[in-house]
Amino acid sequence: MSVKSAKKPSITKLHEWLKDCRANDGGKYLHILLTEHSHIPDEVWDELFTYINHAHEGARSALRTPLGESLNPIMHGTKIDPAYGYPHKFNIVALQGFFGEILTGIIAENYEMFGSSAWEVPVHLFRTHVTAFQQLEEMKQSDNWGKMIFGRTGDDGLAFERDENGKIIRLVMCEAKCTSSHSSKLINDNHEKLSKSIVPKPVDLSRAIEALQDYVDDKYSQDWIEALRGLYFEEENKERCDLSVYVCSKFPVKEKTWISPDKPHESYTAQRKLTSVEIHIIDLQDKIRGIYARMETGK
């Protein structure tokens, strides 16, 4: 049961929401601090909602596919729908995790890093979050929506740079953390996980291909499936870079940033190129709730 194209909606208002300050640009380590503008147009939230809603569409399709034609469209959004409540009825901790992963993909595609502004995120990987699907069904049947959702294993996000022929020439593995307060442990975990991962190719490469197959059989999906399959079977390893994104709602007082703008975090011991992005968002939970609440009506 395919859904609309995997090609993501456009993000044109990002720089009307976030202003950036970068340090150490051009070297092996780049730090980017993103903070909100004092006035944020409503169109920013409209774009974010459209983008985030689309990011979850493949997961909804994966939930509904086993029923095939027996699931009438009129059942969508009702309790008989296997995707009922996904993802907007999950608790705020789960929504923060989703938001952090999606925002990481947006950052990768819209900010220059590692000497390039051509990074692409072909698809988000929420359809691989099996534990969330299992807990969704349990919550749906029990009508208990307060359960904690266990996080998804594997890569939080994957970005690629392609040449003029569509062949992948470099890749970025991404880790994301999102908290309503501040946690030095989450920052540490991000950098430690990236550093400990020594594989040159993403462990979720096959899952990304599967996720693209959830969408309609269009040129976008087919081009990316071909590119990812090519990377999988490529004997020569491509350059891998790392991206850590930390989103929080508590701002530092003594310094401007939680993460050093001058050198990689002490928990990052790999020798690859690293970009650490921290994003300070006022009333983060309220904004996340507001975006996901719109999924109840789809507007």
3 confidence band (pLDDT: 50, 70, 90) = low
- Per-residue confidence (pLDDT) for residue 214, from 0 to 100: 80
Q: To the nearest whole number, what is the mean pLDDT of the chain?
A: 91
- Per-residue confidence (pLDDT) for residue 76, from 0 to 100: 74
pLDDT tens digits along 229-270: 999 999 899 999 999 999 999 999 989 999 999 999 999 999
Cβ–Cβ < 8 Å for 192, 297:
no
Omega cis (within 30) before 87: yes
For residues 105 and 244, give the distance between their C-alpha atoms in angstroms, rounded to a whole number. 11
Axis-axis angle for helices 219-233, 205-213 (nearest 10) = 160
Cβ–Cβ < 8 Å for 81, 75:
yes
- Per-residue confidence (pLDDT) for residue 80, from 0 to 100: 81
- Per-residue confidence (pLDDT) for residue 1, from 0 to 100: 42
Q: What is the mean pLDDT of residues 10-14?
A: 94
For residues 223 and 242, give the distance between their C-alpha atoms in angstroms, rounded to a whole number. 24
Cβ–Cβ < 8 Å for 280, 248:
yes
More confident residue, 243 or 296: 243
244: left (phi over 0), alpha (psi -120 to 50) or beta: beta
Q: Please give the model's pTM, rounded to 2 decimal places.
A: 0.92
159 confidence band (pLDDT: 50, 70, 90) = very high
